[in-house]
Structure 1
């Protein structure tokens, strides 16, 4: 029993529990409401926390998520009450509303259970596959005073429980058998590939073990969008990203591989696309017992959910790799030469550098998004400190994923200036995406967070809907003036020859800064796999086809687009 909380209010207990869990930063909503005031009053002027006040609730959520992904620690957000109907402060059933969006949630019904619930929240958020949790704190709980000693240990069931020791031994036996089969498949496979997702980075020591596996058995590595940075793309075994907008050679390697080793990846629809056309060689090899699909995942529900696994390895990825690697026989690059030669041919046939440049014959002289990202990648590679890149969602996200050279884990996230104050943090955003959260420029200015903002979804409408650009164009404010009004240094660049100098200014400026880049508006993200197609049925850049595409675009839009 813990008697240290006796005489404290719920708000003061919250303060103490944050200290016990090592919280350094707390994100507060821009407008503290009455329901959360007992907590605000308890943490008021606390010397233990840095408080960040975003201008919008969604900004607080984005910041906390980015903080968590960049640091590996939980991001804490405080939000006031939610009204359930107009002009009445009737409490909404928040735990029910948020259930589908959270890994776990609860409403505290007694001040005596508050410490235990906070402990449970931190344990659940950080264990297994990390995810968001929510605690609903009613005002009577945070304003109330605790009068007795209470238990603070969690009531979460341990796994495996004491009652399931026999089941644990059976699982360990099955795991050892599965790992042995996996080792044998890796030994006999002629064309293996490692498919790494975000789970490999969330598993402690996972990226180091990924490299050890790839090096020991000379296996090429491709990553998901969320797995970028898990494997150094400067390594000759790197295939970069795969999927709908992945590298053509990564997609071909996945389709031609006789063994796929999935590490912390879910086989989501942006990677698999048409399931009936996915990985035909690996499926055939599984039948002949010379390959197949080995799936490592911490969540049993993800295994066999989309693609049937030949061997399912449940549990922490890094822990299981530590057991697998000693079972493996070393295989040199020379022994895999036939496979790597085939991959080299695909890289030569479909290089990512194949796109129209500003100075290409017949080019329009505009800044190309691909060139911009390549310049930024080259510039940041020469900087001593780590660079963290964030993006919104859209074409700019895919250009960054494709054309930036990823070298380190946790370098591609949604935020990070607070979690990694030693790092250079650059956000690359499209105009529409930036408009949704631009108010947070003033937050960065207020707290002098050195975030560098670079502003740059019409592709499907061009390719598949005859250039009917429904609701995808908008009139933008003057971003430079807007940034200046918020106390953020800003510049605009529109000429290709000025890009390098502008990026150098952005990177070297102290404090938050914004660079508005005027790019060619109708550059498609390629490669691209159309919906319903197989992973190998991708579209790539073709100069003559692109010229015809732009001409057709001009005709369909009466000259408004396509120049």
Structure 2
């Protein structure tokens, strides 16, 4: 049967299991949107307020489901508005297919209206990208995009489709099932035998895992390995939710703003087993000091990450789940009583340092109290999203995550304005309630997506930690720039409660724990979006903190 290129796109997306597209229409994708209308009983389109919000929604959809998120935008500014969302997905290895329209092939390169070389723009921030100039290649190009997005280290792929390719017609035959990713790389036996030998001979093992454990579906295997070798565990920001917060071996996030016990335990280990992590600067601090005391086994699906930032004593490329499963059968079951005792000491020391770091200020809420109260009302099934800044780190440190894929945040790119779009995408993907922790600075970036939340009646509880500053940069200025608060004091008069009401949402302000308890109960009973404005003192800091390019020897746990 001969059909148009636009219809081929929609039929191929449906064939690949796509049930929801996020996006915004425009002249160069109007044919695609016409076919979306015709197929509205088989595939849903979510209209965002801004293309960046649509990209973040597709990202949030992908993170909570493990499926490939899909976003669509028109040429020119529509396409460039996707760039931040695509880069966010790329840095955090999130599978996404971004579809953009473009001017007709004969107009490309002529500075036509709303023409941008989006393939050139996005080349550094995609796993691969395509411009389709032959309608007979269109369906297979989209299929390949889905295959690449989900293969190996996952990530975004862009498909740019000129206008004349959308209107042209050709024969189309749908495949019976979605494409499957390229075959996984499995670890050679001799490499795992060497790893097992190193693990069996160590006295202070430590497991450090990241987002690769979540995307590799290896959470159970990592926890089982920790139990068998009696190893404490810590994670990167992207690894949060892979292991339940109440796992007795889990010490929490480590690194620049990680838990004291997790960071110190890693430093005192004699062997670090790193699984699905990239050893970013926020996790390691000063690289020359980082691995001074321990050997490293590094296992990752992406061979480019091995030895990139930190040299490993044993670097292994391969599937995390397969490697962990096989390692469990190879290693000896051991107990390390002295090491366990030291971990218990570090936990107790962390409690004391945490208690000293935060104080009660009249008329303001303590960040940890906000998180504790919200989590007590939310339940274990809620999706937790954040924007980027101090609130993000407080949430990462404190929120008791119990379910895999329940925490979504921008880690690698650190995208302010990420959270609301991502939370919307996550709730629409799962039907579950989401809570977004944000700051007044981050929320201001993309608060227009509150219109989307209201129009879709998404059950998102938005908790604004409102300190009237750009908190994380403000903190750096306080600690390292002699309190030169240049450009970080917002001095805005925005009333977030009235703003919520103007968008058609509900909202309230809490200036005490008692007020927050009442508002939280109301918010989580609400079917649609609910905004809670929480005044926080600008002097509150995210602690512990490793100084920029600092080391564990310089950790800051208290400032007065």
What is the TM-score of this pair, normalised by structure 2? 0.86
Q: How does 1:136-535 map to 2 (within 5 A)?
A: 136-146=160-170, 175-204=188-217, 206-282=218-294, 292-331=295-334, 335-351=335-351, 353-355=354-356, 359=360, 363-364=361-362, 366-380=364-378, 383=379, 386-413=381-408, 414-415=422-423, 416-421=426-431, 423-456=432-465, 457=471, 458-474=474-490, 475-535=492-552
CA gap of 1:324–1:156, structure 2 versus 1, over 3 A, is: closer
SS state at 2:342 partner:
helix
Q: Identify the range of structure 1 (15-24 vs 497-506) with the bigger mean alpha-carbon deviation.
A: 497-506
SS state at 1:91 partner:
coil
In structure 1, distance between residues paired with 2:348 and 2:171: 73
Residues 419-470 of structure 1 deviation map (CA, whole Å, 9 limit, x = unaligned): 121x220011000100111111111111111111111131001111121111
In structure 2, distance between residues paired with 1:434 and 1:219: 39
In structure 1, distance between residues paired with 2:263 and 2:554: 9
Contact 2:147 2:181 in 1 (8 A): no
2:146 is equivalent to residue 130 of structure 1 = no
Contact 1:365 1:496 in 2 (8 A): no
Q: CA deviation at 1:378?
A: 3.1
Residues 356-405 of structure 1 deviation map (CA, whole Å, 9 limit, x = unaligned): 6565xxx545211122112223333xx3x611111111000000011112
Task: Find the counterpart in structure 1 of residue 414 from structure 2.
Answer: none
CA gap of 1:86–1:497, structure 2 versus 1, over 3 A, is: farther
CA gap of 1:397–1:409, structure 2 versus 1, over 3 A, is: same
Contact 2:210 2:238 in 1 (8 A): yes
In structure 1, distance between residues paired with 2:127 and 2:148: 8
In structure 1, distance between residues paired with 2:496 and 2:182: 52
Q: CA deviation at 1:154?
A: 12
CA gap of 1:159–1:52, structure 2 versus 1, over 3 A, is: closer
SS state at 2:10 partner:
helix
SS state at 1:304 partner:
coil
2:71 is equivalent to residue 48 of structure 1 = no
Contact 1:112 1:150 in 2 (8 A): no
Could you tell me which runs of 5 or more consecutive residues in structure 1 were left unpaired when the two chains were aligned: 1-5, 161-170, 283-291, 547-563
CA gap of 1:316–1:508, structure 2 versus 1, over 3 A, is: same
Structure number with larger C-alpha Rg: 1
In structure 1, distance between residues paired with 2:526 and 2:181: 51
CA gap of 1:149–1:393, structure 2 versus 1, over 3 A, is: closer
Q: CA deviation at 1:232?
A: 1.7
Q: CA deviation at 1:158?
A: 6.3
In structure 2, distance between residues paired with 1:153 and 1:509: 39
Contact 1:117 1:154 in 2 (8 A): no
In structure 2, distance between residues paired with 1:38 and 1:51: 14
Contact 1:358 1:367 in 2 (8 A): no
1:93 aligned to 117, 121, 144, which one? 117
CA gap of 1:515–1:304, structure 2 versus 1, over 3 A, is: same
Residues 216-258 of structure 1 deviation map (CA, whole Å, 9 limit, x = unaligned): 1111100111101111221221111100001111111111110
Size of the alignment, in residue pairs?
Answer: 505
Q: How does 1:6-21 map to 2 (within 5 A)?
A: 6-21=1-16
Task: Find the counterpart in structure 2 of residue 112 from structure 1.
Answer: 136
SS state at 1:540 partner:
coil
SS state at 1:418 partner:
helix
Task: Find the counterpart in structure 1 of residue 57 from structure 2.
Answer: 63
In structure 2, distance between residues paired with 1:501 and 1:347: 32
Contact 1:255 1:536 in 2 (8 A): no
Task: Find the counterpart in structure 1 of residue 69 from structure 2.
Answer: 75
Could you tell me which runs of 5 or more consecutive residues in structure 2 were left unpaired when the two chains were aligned: 81-108, 409-421, 466-470
Task: Find the counterpart in structure 1 of residue 85 from structure 2.
Answer: none
In structure 2, distance between residues paired with 1:209 and 1:532: 33
In structure 1, distance between residues paired with 2:123 and 2:458: 33
Q: CA deviation at 1:153?
A: 12
Contact 1:124 1:130 in 2 (8 A): yes
Contact 1:271 1:535 in 2 (8 A): no
Task: Find the counterpart in structure 2 of residue 102 from structure 1.
Answer: 126
Q: CA RMSD in A?
A: 2.4
In structure 2, distance between residues paired with 1:338 and 1:38: 67
In structure 1, distance between residues paired with 2:362 and 2:230: 44
In structure 1, distance between residues paired with 2:173 and 2:458: 42
CA gap of 1:153–1:142, structure 2 versus 1, over 3 A, is: farther
SS state at 1:267 partner:
coil
Q: CA deviation at 1:537?
A: 2.1
SS state at 2:63 partner:
helix
In structure 2, distance between residues paired with 1:207 and 1:366: 38
Q: CA deviation at 1:147?
A: 5.1
In structure 1, distance between residues paired with 2:557 and 2:110: 52
In structure 1, distance between residues paired with 2:63 and 2:177: 27
Q: CA deviation at 1:149?
A: 7.8
Q: CA deviation at 1:56?
A: 0.6
CA gap of 1:493–1:149, structure 2 versus 1, over 3 A, is: closer
